[in-house]
Amino acid sequence: MTLVELLANLDGLDDGLVIFAAVVPYARPDTPALVSAEPLDEQVGREPRVGPLVSVGEARRAIEAWAAARPGTPVRPGDRVEAVRHLAVHGELPAPAAPWTGDVVTLFRPTGPAELALIEASGWRRFPPRLPEQPIFYPVLTEAYAAKIARDWNVAASGVGYVTRFEVAVSTLQPYPVQEAGGGDHLELWVPAEELERFNDGIVGTIDVIGEYRGDPPRRVR
């Protein structure tokens, strides 16, 4: 079970149960997660980066506080994860996200060859639908972060990694607060898979390839 799935199904769980998640404290919606009444030494031993996040009761209070701080705004699956993650790491809830400014925002997206072929097939204007096991679409805010993912993940998985750049209308981005995913310069957005078509409709102009990485170690070739 992923963390986003677990947090969507808290009803019926005792407040005293503990939520465990992998890659603590930088949990993301698709991070593996589970609940238990006791420390999970066996699970922690199999996955060194699994650890306790918060109790079920704390998770409920974090999500309720997040909603109260943003009246009139629906709490999306990724918002539940961010509210709980922030509480676990900082001991407090984040302030309401500042609104985007200007008309458009430049974003970046690391991709492999399969996804890039689908982007090309769209006329370089849309990202392809997510797979069933991919509940969230992750655009990032900086070229450096996109390049790191392309080098570290896409090259290892496919032999080549690309960095794309595109602009999105601010009105499209208002529902998505900026998320910190493992460091102050690792900033990204969490767009639910079912909202990707709406996100694509907000893309202004084309999706451009600005970087390509190949080899071992990965090297930039454009």
**Rounded distance between C-alpha atoms, residue 211 and residue 222, angstroms:** 5
Lowest mean pLDDT among 1-5, 41-45, 84-88: 41-45
Higher pLDDT, 13 or 90: 13
| pLDDT tens per residue, range 103-131 | 999 999 999 999 999 999 999 999 999 99
**Rounded distance between C-alpha atoms, residue 135 and residue 174, angstroms:** 20
For domain 104-220, say whether CATH 3.20.170 is its number: yes
Percent of the chain with pLDDT over 90: 57
What is the average pLDDT score of the chain? 87
Other beta carbons within 10 angstroms of residue 180's beta carbon come to 16
204 — pLDDT class (breaks 50, 70, 90): very high
Please check the confidence at residue 44 and state whether its pLDDT lies above 50: no
Q: What is the mean pLDDT of residues 31-41?
A: 76
pLDDT at 183: 62
43 — pLDDT class (breaks 50, 70, 90): very low
Please check the confidence at residue 171 and state whether its pLDDT lies above 50: yes
pLDDT at 170: 92
Q: What is the mean pLDDT of residues 208-220?
A: 90
**Rounded distance between C-alpha atoms, residue 207 and residue 166, angstroms:** 5
Q: Give the residue from 146, 157, 152, 153 showing the smallest Cα distance to 209.
A: 146
**Rounded distance between C-alpha atoms, residue 201 and residue 61, angstroms:** 34
pLDDT at 207: 98
pTM of the model: 0.73
Domain boundaries, the chain: 3-90, 104-220
**Rounded distance between C-alpha atoms, residue 194 and residue 134, angstroms:** 11
Q: What is the mean pLDDT of residues 54-67?
A: 92
**Rounded distance between C-alpha atoms, residue 161 and residue 218, angstroms:** 9
